[in-house]
Amino acid sequence: MTLATLAEVLRPAVAGGYAVPGLVCLGWEDMRAYAMAAQAERAPVILQAGPSCRAHTPLPVLGAMMRQLAGDVDVPVVVHLDHGYTLDECRAALDAGFTSLMYDGSRQPLAQNIAETAAVAELAHAAGVSCEGEIGFVGYAGGEGSAGTDPADAAIFARDSGVDAMAISVGNVHLQQGHEGGLDEPRIRAIEAVTDVPLVIHGGSGVPLAQRAALAAVSRIAKFNIGTELRMAFGAALRDAVNADPDRFDRVAILKETHDPVMAAARAVIRGLGASGKA
């Protein structure tokens, strides 16, 4: 069993000049491809269950699947709740065997965000697992706009919440399909100057690949969440498999053909963050 906590994989990443991918899972096929990609690259990996994943599959099932995959490989695997919105949801993830809890109070006023995140951090640490929090709301492509992280707020949040990792809003956007724009590096440096907590970028798919690689190597950003570009790889592979033979109906046979393309895409993400060989 190679289960790890978030802190156990992010601290070496900060010290070693690389970042660990937080790979957004939607089901067995993609999470298995991610675990096999990490094994092939000899890299740590974070398997993430976000809100849409949890709406489709119950937390206990997700926890069992991810823990099974951790037992199938010999590289560190973090079983991570992404965007938990209530203490009860975080407690349910803990009961389901998750080794990392991300509480998202970024829409709340600073004091409320700190108090709620600190309660989750206390719950996590008492159970020997990790906690990630978010300060500065990260928006969505075509949806809610980002708020941006104030470095002074980040310093207070990191100090008072007790988190092991801190997600920040620095030009990143969820669900962005192209590598456009880029992150606000002066804001990142200002946040780095006031805290030593490992930093997290949500919406990592939208970050230009060169900037993603550079920041993984020379900043305190130790985790990039990658979902959209891998979902796009899965969708393209699934479409090809279905269109190759319109008479096929066995979903096991069809879904099997997504494995190699998604695994290859995940391996590229891992290499781009400098995590290969770091297990």
Structure tokens at 48: 């993430």
CA distances from 268 to 113, 233, 264 (A): 35, 12, 6
Please give the Cα distance from 33 to 24 (Å, whole number): 12
Catalytic residue among 72, 74, 82, 150: 82
Does the CA dihedral 99-151-140-19 come out positive or negative?
negative
38: its two tokens: 């990490």
Show the CA angle centred on residue 69, arms to residues 65 and 75, nearest 5°: 150
82 is catalytic: yes
Q: Cα 182 from chain centroid? A: 19
Q: Distance of alpha carbon 165 from its chain centroid, rounded?
A: 11
Report residue 68 as tokens: 């099974």
CB within 8 A of 108, min separation 6: which ones?
A: 116
Q: Is 25 left (phi over 0), alpha (psi -120 to 50) or beta?
A: beta
Q: Which residues pair with 166 in a beta bridge?
A: 133, 199
**What is the set of active-site residues?**
82
